[in-house]
Amino acid sequence: MQKIFFTPGPAHLYPTVGNHLKQALDLQLFSLSHRSKRYEAIHQKAVDGVRALMAIPQDFHIFFHSSATEIWERLIQNAVMEKSFHFVNGSFSSRYYEIACELQVDARKEEAAWGKAFDLSQVNIPSDTELINFTHNETSTGVMLDLGEIYALKKKHANALLTLDLVSSAPYGQPDWTQTDAAYFSVQKCFGLPAGLGVLILSPTMLAKAAQKTAAGHSTGSYHSFASQLSKAQKSQTPETPNVPNIYLLGQVCEDMLRKGIETIRRETEQKAALLYDFFDQYPVYQNFVREKAYRSQTVIVADIPSGSGPLIKRLVEQGMVLGDGYGAMKGKQIRVANFPAVSVADVEALISKLADG
């Protein structure tokens, strides 16, 4: 039985991935040298695809990493000499804050309860903060922050670099690149690809800060310093042997998404999310975890299961549908439904029908 994965990463593969993978194998693309012209074409296609899909300015650079977890570390290493500030409202935003602390910068945080957003008017950010990070869509809780509110806060702290975690919202979310210094995502979520590739988007200002840190005598890392990556990215290469299969697939899937149209993808995402939230609001067995509708994620829908999620998840697996369990302390108490482009409206309607069976 072929299952539908509603898990929020690794998630269901985008429908065209199988054909692209077969073609790549037939063409023996994965045995290419990463210094070859053929690899450079694969690399450039992926970069161009991400840039077109997310309307990224030409003077922003796109780097490839092993994961978003690695990117957290690289951002702190390259862009912070002393102080960072983190908005924490779930496991993943919390982990970034912890990494900053482990790298021995003066990391501060504003924390909200799981399932909640922030009152940004009440946040006190030190004036000498160098980097502010927001997790646009907290995968562990299903809270999606309002980008307009984030940018209003950024304008009050114009000297700080703003970084956005788009791990489970890209390409649905559309950043304002004039206000964003770095954004990043992993491909195993909304892009419907195998795990093992993180994508980092950097502004000229962010690269300048890394150069400033180096000039001041601070380390910015080694092979994945921004300077090292930039020198190779300018030749459509990476410093090390990269994840060629995923970079190839990313370029192909971006092309597929562009053909479908990003506005169509966003419209379908909102349609599917509305179906799920309406169902959980109306059906007494379930309760939407995020109470404030304005902050309900469009890509990761989380519901409380007062009777426990284990039996439900097991039953649905037997019927060919795999749901995400609650994360961390919420394991066994919630379900998380990935509403990514790889699952169709018909898939979501079928899931709702199964959920209605109790």
Per-domain boundaries in the chain: 4-12+261-355, 17-258
Average pLDDT on 332-344 reads 98
pLDDT of residue 80: 97
CB 65 within 8 A of CB 71: yes
Distances (CA, A) of 53 to 40, 201, 250: 20, 13, 11
Residue 226 has pLDDT above 90, yes or no: yes
Rounded to the nearest integer, the mean pLDDT of the chain is 97
Q: What is the pLDDT of residues 116-162, one digit of tens each?
A: 999 999 999 999 999 999 999 999 999 999 999 999 999 999 999 99
Q: Where are the alpha helices (DSSP H) in 90-187?
A: 91-102, 147-156
Average pLDDT on 327-336 reads 97
358 falls in which pLDDT band (50, 70, 90)?
low
Q: Going by C-beta distance under 8 Å and a sequence separation of 6 or more, which residues neighbour residue 43?
A: 64, 236, 237, 238, 242, 247
223 falls in which pLDDT band (50, 70, 90)?
confident
SS3 category, 339: coil
357 falls in which pLDDT band (50, 70, 90)?
confident
Q: How far apart are CA 57 and CA 61, in angstroms?
A: 9
State the CATH architecture for 17-258. Answer: 3-Layer(aba) Sandwich (3.40)
Q: What is the pLDDT of residues 18-77, one digit of tens each?
A: 999 999 999 999 999 999 999 999 999 999 999 999 999 999 999 999 999 999 999 999
pLDDT of residue 13: 98
Q: What is the pLDDT of residues 163-182, one digit of tens each?
A: 999 999 999 999 999 999 99
pLDDT of residue 260: 98
Average pLDDT on 306-313 reads 96
CATH, domain range 4-12+261-355: 3.90.1150.10
Among residues 10, 6, 95, the alpha carbon closest in space to that of 301 is found at 6
Question: What sign does the CA torsion over 78, 83, 85, 91 have?
Answer: positive
